[in-house]
Amino acid sequence: MASGIFALLDDISALMDDVASMTKVAGKKTAGILGDDLAVNAEKASGFVSSRELPVLWAISKGSLLNKIIILPIAFLLSAYASWAVTAILLLGGFYLAYEGAEKVYEFFFHKKEHTTTKPDLTLTKKEILEKEKKKIRSAIITDFILSVEIVIIALGTVMSEPLKIQILVVSIIAIIATVGVYGIVALIVRMDDAGYRLIHLNEEDHSFSDKLGRFLVNALPKVIKALSIIGTIALFLVSGGIFAHNLPFLHDLLHGFPALLGELLTGLVAGILVLGFVKTIKKLFIR
């Protein structure tokens, strides 16, 4: 009896060791897209009056959890019965991520004047504010769904050769981190300015430590969001390029002489330019 219990504990320990090591690998593979997820959600959760930022973020977080609940069972079924579909979805997602990155670069260079800082409009009525919130929440949840599919599929791709129970545990852990971790950090980011204002008004001294720290946080927020946007765009190219390099043997051989990051960045950039050109051509031909 005792030996059976010890054997069970030993099996559980071995399983958790495997899960921990594979989670690290999957975490590294999904780090780039998690960075983009962070940048995108920081932008979508900003632009509201201070009292509404956290409720909006909580609504998006609940939508993100629901996305994972929908995606995970489908992903595990595909892994068990149609593993080829995982690779196909991975490649399609790679093209989408490359396109999204190229579109961001294109918008930055050719539509710079259209980009304005996101600030809450205090002239809106309560009904208009709530309607604006609903639209932004829906948009954020749809974007999260697409990014969640890629996170789950990329994580699943790293453990495809492992037993199904390890796949389920590893990918589920990554999915939880992708929700709790990302939205927890976003909550801290969007509240930076509010924390800064509280520190500024903590006392009446103009040059106290709290005053300087508060001003630093207030001034840093737009720079942090901008930096995350840039990092997220680069991450899109790196993640998509990595998907192609690791799943297309001829491309892997072609990039053999390049440094890994440079090869993946260039691959993602070229793929993004091609898809962007294709999409714009289709729009010109068929959408007037």
Confidence of residue 133 (pLDDT cuts 50, 70, 90): confident
- For 248, half-sphere exposure in the C-beta direction (CA atoms, 13 angstrom radius) is 18
Q: What is the pLDDT of residue 197?
A: 79
Global pTM?
Answer: 0.68
**Domain coordinates in residue numbering, the chain:** 32-286
CB-based contacts of 68: which residues, under 8 Å, 6+ apart? 148, 152, 175, 176, 178, 179
Q: What is the pLDDT of residue 7?
A: 47
Residue 283 to residue 152: CA distance in whole angstroms? 31
Alpha-helical runs (H) found in 111-191: 126-158, 164-176, 182-190
Q: What is the pLDDT of residue 219?
A: 85
> Is the predicted pLDDT of residue 267 greater than 60, yes or no?
yes
Q: How far is CA 113 from the centre of its chain?
A: 26
Mean of all residue pLDDT scores within the chain: 76
Contact 26, 155 (CB under 8 A): yes
pLDDT tens for 51-107 read 677 788 888 888 888 988 998 898 888 878 887 887 888 888 888 888 888 988 898
Q: Strands (DSSP E) along the chain, which ranges?
A: none
